[in-house]
Amino acid sequence: MRISIIGAGFSGCALATELARVAGRGIDVRLIGARDSHGRGVAYGEARPEHLLNVRARDLGATADHPGEFADWLNLTERARHSFLPRLVYGEYLHSRLQTATQLSLAALSHVGQEAIAIEREAGAFRVYLADGSDFASDVVVLAVGALPPQPLSGVGPRLAVDPAYLGWPWQNGLDGSGAIDRVPTQARVLVIGTGLTMVDVVATLQRRGHRGPITALSRHGLLPQPHAELPSAPTALPPTVLQALHAHDLRQLVRTLRSLTPIVPDWRSPVDALRPHLQAFWRGLPEAQRATFLRHLRSYWEVLRHRLAPSLSNELEALRERGRLRIRAGRMLRARRGADAVEVSIRDRGFSHVSNESFDVLIRATGFDTDLERTTHPLMAHLREAGLVTADGHGLGVKASPRFEALDRHGVPVRGLYCLGPLLRGQLWEITAVPELRVAAKQLAAQLLAPAERAQAFAEPARAIIGRTQ
């Protein structure tokens, strides 16, 4: 049985490691992705020393069977297990884990250091085409590409789009190996579009480089990610009113009960964390109209509570704001163009009808990850969409998939042997972007792929196709 995993970040690495750990002889697993990304991906491979994990070390084991594995790998003390470590360290852990699995596995686990650019059906299986012009056949393909490239920033003029004053991806490296953000002058007036975790990384890097110019961060709601507590909050049980709303898939009632609960609990983080085990089932049963309501009105507020900051980073941001060096604004950038001496930007602040025209030296896009398949520029996913092998979720949350992680084609039919894993499943599960949920999904999919019925089907499909051609 030939299994190809497209994407070598956390999701792909976790699945490959699970397969290598439990698969026997006769299973051929290929992990496919840019050579430098294996075991690290973009999130951990492009991180810098100042970029911290937003989860405590004790909870970041890459396997559902051993959540403390990362902390054990580092041999951390009990106190250090509660800390927020650099993301680079986590990337090394994932890489080491993958290498060990490769060496010890009875299955054949190989690493392909190329990007997959196309996949086609072939004789009941698939043919995978790589960027270097090579190709190969595979019985099963798993799309674990992670988040899609961010959409082009609306309003950026054509001259500015190719100007060094615009950083469409701040971690992009030039031919000389230096990062785009390293070329930002220390006194530059910087406008960052986005106020989420990517913006925090940008500000942290600018400060590490000794930046002294004013920084403005702009987003629709102007919300900053909330901080973790210095020490973990005590877990709490959800009251019956919240559980009833979850089981009834009633968004309005859920919001109402949570609002009444928050003032009476010692720490608001506890009920938010207690919701997580219920959210995938809640989202699966949520009517489309209520999903749209959540995404339009509540998404931004939920994400700043759910995806929190390391306390040290939150303190750094507050200190910058108090000194007037960082300004958080709620509003929209309507236009940005390359002026004679500066980047000229038109901004309409939230709640105001007038537009202000302002000047900055550098414009940085920090809008985070994207899952909108309909508009993506990702070569492989755009090809699969156009070929009808995958279908975009109606809310821009990745692909449509079956409960068994199978991609649905343009007719809504599961594509036998083509699976999805990771953020592309957000339309079906919503809560599928963080380590605790991803490692569980990876284990479930690995067990499913190795089940006797699944293996028999993978072998039978090519056989039937061959027999059909000979009759």
- Give CA 27 to chain center in angstroms: 28
pLDDT at residue 74 above 90? Answer: yes
Regarding whether 313 and 287 lie in a shared domain, the answer is no
Q: For 207-231, what is the mean pLDDT?
A: 96
Instruction: Give 177's pLDDT tier (boundaries 50, 70, 90).
Output: low
Q: Are 192 and 217 in contact (CB under 8 A)?
A: yes
What is the pLDDT, as a whole number, of residue 178? Answer: 66
* Residue 462 pLDDT greater than 80, yes or no: no
Q: Please, what is the average pLDDT of the chain? A: 91
Band the pLDDT of 458: cuts 50, 70, 90. low
In the listed set 316, 342, 365, which residue is the last one of a domain according to the structure? 365
Six-digit token pair at 300? 């931004």
What is the average per-residue pLDDT within 380-407?
96
Q: Identify whether 90 is part of a domain.
A: yes
Helix (H) or strand (E) holding 116: strand 116-122
Is the predicted pLDDT of residue 186 greater than 80, yes or no?
A: yes
Phi-psi region of 388 (alpha: psi -120 to 50; beta: other; left: phi over 0): left
Domain tally, the chain = 3
Indicate if the pLDDT at residue 463 is higher than 50: no
Q: Looking up tokens 């079906």, which residue turns up?
A: 428
For residue 174, pLDDT beyond 70: no
235 in a domain, yes or no? no
CA distance 167 to 201: 14
pLDDT digits (tens, 9 = 90+) for 305-334: 999 999 999 999 999 999 999 999 999 999
Q: What residue has token string 């650099």? A: 86
Question: Last residue of some domain: 365, 398, 433?
Answer: 365
In a domain, 462, yes or no: yes
pLDDT at 31: 95
Q: Are residues 386 and 438 in the same domain?
A: yes
Same domain, yes or no, for 105 and 8? yes
**What pLDDT is stored for residue 406 in this prediction?**
97
Only one residue has tokens 């989202």, namely 283
Residue written as token pair 């007036």: 189
Tokens of 128: 């995978």
Find the domain containing 336 and state its range: 158-226+308-365
Answer whether 0.85 is exceeded by the pTM. Answer: yes
Q: What is the pLDDT of residues 149-169, one digit of tens each?
A: 888 899 999 999 999 999 998
pLDDT at 468: 46
pLDDT for 36 beyond 80:
no
Q: DSSP letter at 64?
A: T
pLDDT at position 454, please? 55
The C-alpha angle 153, 392, 135, rounded to 5 degrees, equals 95
Same domain, 189 and 317: yes
User: Do residue 83 and residue 133 come from a single domain?
Assistant: yes
Which of 365, 392, 412 is the endpoint of a domain? 365
Assess whether 65 and 96 both reside in one domain: yes
Residue 387 lies in a domain: yes
Task: Note whether 422 and 336 are same-domain residues.
Answer: no
Please give the DSSP secondary-structure letter assigned to residue 146: -
Instruction: Indicate whether 70 belongs to any domain.
Output: yes
Q: Quick one: average pLDDT of 27-33?
A: 94
Q: Contact at 8 Å (CB) between 329 and 218? A: yes
Reported as a single tens digit per residue, the pLDDT across 240-265 is 999 999 999 999 999 999 999 888 88
Same domain, 287 and 436: no
Q: Check residue 433 and give its pLDDT.
A: 93
**Residue 342: CATH number of its domain:** 3.50.50.60
Residue 244 CA to its chain's centroid (Å): 30
Closest by CA position to 32, among listed 15, 8, 11, 60:
8
pLDDT in tens, 441-456: 999 999 999 987 455 5
CB 192 within 8 A of CB 169: no
Give the number of residues written for the chain. Answer: 471
Between 69-78, 100-109, 119-128, the lowest mean confidence (pLDDT) is in: 100-109
Q: State whether 145 and 194 are in the same domain.
A: no
Contact 342, 359 (CB under 8 A): yes
**Which residue bears the tokens 């929190």?**
308
Q: Are both 73 and 99 inside the same structural domain?
A: yes
Proportion of the chain above pLDDT 90, given as a percent: 79
Share above pLDDT 70 across residues of the chain, in percent, rounded to a whole number? 95
**pLDDT tens digits for range 342-373:** 999 999 999 999 999 999 999 999 997 789 99
- Distance (Å, whole) CA 65 – CA 437: 13
